[in-house]
Copies of this chain bind each other. A is one copy, B any other.
Amino acid sequence: MQNVQVWGETLRLLVEMAATAAFALSGIMEAARKRLDAVGVCVVGFLAAFGGGTLRDLLLDQRPFFWVRHVEMLWGVLALCVLAMLFLRTRHFALTERAIQWPDALGLGLFAATGVHQALLLELPALVAVLMGLITGVFGGVLRDVVCNQIPAAFHDHRPYAVCAFAGGWVYVGLWQADAPGWVALVSCVGVTAGLRALSLWRNWQLPAWKT
């Protein structure tokens, strides 16, 4: 039984690291497209990777930040930025974007779950908890796009992204209130979020647009 728990914890860590790397890469590629310099590439990579979680901790008044407790993640993203500057070329972008879709979808689910979890621990209302999960998963990308001077992709590319985290967040809240074990809620939230995201990419679902 304990063996299973260790395995679960290791798996969670692997997903978290892969997701952080995927988020950072999305920032790095956006910065490269905008022809930013080395400092800009690093900053936008950091914003994309840590922006959502930092905003969550700021809103929930949690200190220290998760990247202060796990400073090795900062070093990892810094190394990733340097490696990307050295080896990643524009012609690799399309391939990289396809490759990071899956860790990104898993990370969206995982980050949403951690946001919902922290808000529920603070006994915040259900809707607020779901919004915190959404902010954790989505606002890294929003900050990345705001700094790169464009409208956030999550708000206008018509592909479900935040909506998946929203649905996954309600799953987490429901299971929490039904006193399900923590890992069931976590796995269900990640599964629903990533599953919906994968389905929407596969079936090319479109969010409703404004009717003029």
Contacts and interface: CB of A to CB of B under 8 A. Distances in A.
A151 B149 contact: yes
A199 to B, nearest CB: 17
A71 B155 contact: no
Interface in A125-150: 125, 127-128, 131, 142, 146-150
Contact of A142 (B34, B59, B127, B147): B147
B39 A207 contact: yes
**Closest A-B pairs by Cβ, 7 of them:** A40-B155, A37-B207, A71-B125, A32-B210, A37-B158, A90-B212, A36-B156
B150 A149 contact: yes
Contact of A68 (B40, B68, B124): B124
Interface string A147-191: 111111011111011110000000000000000000000000000
Contact of A34 (B124, B156, B208): B156
26 contacts: A32-B210, A34-B151, A34-B156, A35-B210, A36-B210, A37-B155, A38-B163, A38-B208, A43-B155, A44-B155, A58-B59, A59-B65, A61-B61, A71-B125, A71-B128, A74-B128, A85-B208, A85-B210, A85-B211, A89-B211, A89-B212, A146-B147, A147-B151, A148-B151, A149-B149, A149-B151
Given A36-B210, A212-B90, A147 B156 contact: no
Interface of A: 31-32, 34-41, 43-44, 54, 58-59, 61, 63-65, 67-68, 71, 74-75, 85, 89-90, 124-125, 127-128, 131, 142, 146-152, 154-158, 160-163, 207-212
A59 B161 CA distance: 28
Given A61-B63, A128-B68, A151-B148, A156 B40 contact: yes
Point out which of A67, A89, A209 has the most chain B C-beta atoms below 10 A from its C-beta: A209
Contacts of A35: 156, 209-210
Nearest to A149: B151
A43 to B, nearest CB: 6
Given A37-B207, A68-B128, A89-B211, 18 more contacts: A34-B151, A34-B156, A35-B210, A36-B155, A36-B156, A36-B210, A37-B208, A38-B207, A39-B161, A40-B152, A40-B155, A40-B156, A71-B125, A74-B131, A85-B210, A89-B212, A146-B147, A147-B151
